[in-house]
């Protein structure tokens, strides 16, 4: 084998190795790339859509109500879930006739335009502990969320990132 061929092969190996290391760094420290296996977030994120979440979103700030986040499922941390933040630390969340009420308010959360359909049912009240969040899916009638989990609340340190966009069946920013 000539010296030029050896040099070219070594160059390719370095390039491919660098690309692999960069990809591992990005997926470990900057983004989460995950598949959504269920319809719990429909019509915003469809079954089998892929999502990209920013791991750095909550490095210097706290999650906000209505943020869509990817996290380790509190009842089985090997499983990743995607849901919307509804209840904040220290709040009391109650669902009456499918509408969400915070801290005993007479008014439900403002029109949740992201919902797939009108939600039904009464749940709660749930008292969200400090450092935790109450999570719900956008397809409330089909979502396995804080209302139904054994461990009802999501600890902040289990949040992996804020969902930025989806791709696969459709491409779009998540609001």
Q: Which residues are catalytic?
A: 40, 83
3-state secondary structure 91-150: CEEEEECCEEEECCCCCCCCCCCCCCCCCCCCEEEEECCCCEEEEECCCHHHCCCCCCCC
What gap in Å lies between CA 27 and CA 108, rounded to an integer? 38
| Token output for 101 | 């009420």
């Amino acid at each position: 084998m000539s010296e030029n061929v050896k040099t070219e092969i070594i160059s390719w190996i370095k390039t491919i190795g660098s690309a692999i290391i960069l990809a591992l760094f990005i997926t470990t420290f900057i983004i989460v790339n995950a598949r959504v296996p269920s319809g719990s977030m429909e019509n915003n994120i469809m079954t089998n859509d892929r999502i990209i979440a920013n791991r750095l979103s909550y490095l210097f700030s706290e999650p906000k109500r209505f943020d869509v986040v990817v996290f380790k499922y509190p009842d089985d941390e090997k499983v990743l879930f995607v849901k919307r933040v509804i209840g904040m630390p220290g709040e009391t969340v109650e669902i009456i006739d499918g509408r969400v009420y915070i801290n005993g308010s007479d008014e439900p959360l403002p029109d949740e335009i992201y919902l797939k359909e009108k939600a039904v049912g009464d749940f709660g009240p749930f008292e969200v502990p400090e450092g935790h969040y109450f999570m719900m899916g956008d397809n409330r009638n089909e979502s396995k969320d804080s209302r139904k989990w054994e461990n009802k609340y999501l600890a902040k340190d289990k949040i992996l990132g804020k969902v930025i966009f989806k791709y696969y069946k459709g491409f779009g920013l998540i609001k």
